[in-house]
Amino acid sequence: MEIIYKEIKDFKLDDIERLFLSVNWESGRYPEKLVKAMHNSTHVVSAWDGRRLVGLVRALDDDETVAFIHYLLVDPEYQGYKIGAELMNRMLLHFDNHLYVKVMPSDPITISFYEKFGFKLYDNYSAMVIKHY
């Protein structure tokens, strides 16, 4: 297995749909929206095994003060090979000069993963969400 990392924003519907549904993310049911979202993101780093999209991280930022990392996912068949860590390392290179880099883990089990990259939890800070679907 040779994983290739790419910084691209254009994805096929079926690639995005398959990856997001592989981790049971509800947004995978809306591949058209995901394809547009990736295209409109500031940075996207993806992992490929041949033609198969196996991982992805995306971020939105203002180019100076704050960056938000949103969507870090790896196909379960490919977890345990440090693909997520490589995606995160490549993404963080874009934000060396930002004052803040933020991530809001949706699953507490992932907190220790993010802590390895220097992210810290704050008692007075949590995400709130409005869902429109």
pLDDT by residue (tens digit) across 28-62? 999 999 999 999 999 999 999 999 999 999 999 99
Q: Which domains does the chain have, with CATH numbers?
A: 3-115 (3.40.630.30)
pLDDT by residue (tens digit) across 51-99? 999 999 999 999 999 999 988 999 999 999 999 999 999 999 999 999 9
Q: Tell me how far apart the alpha carbons of residues 97 and 7 are, in angstroms, rounded to a whole number.
A: 19
pTM: 0.91
Query: Where does 23-128 have alpha helices with state H?
Result: 31-40, 83-92, 111-115
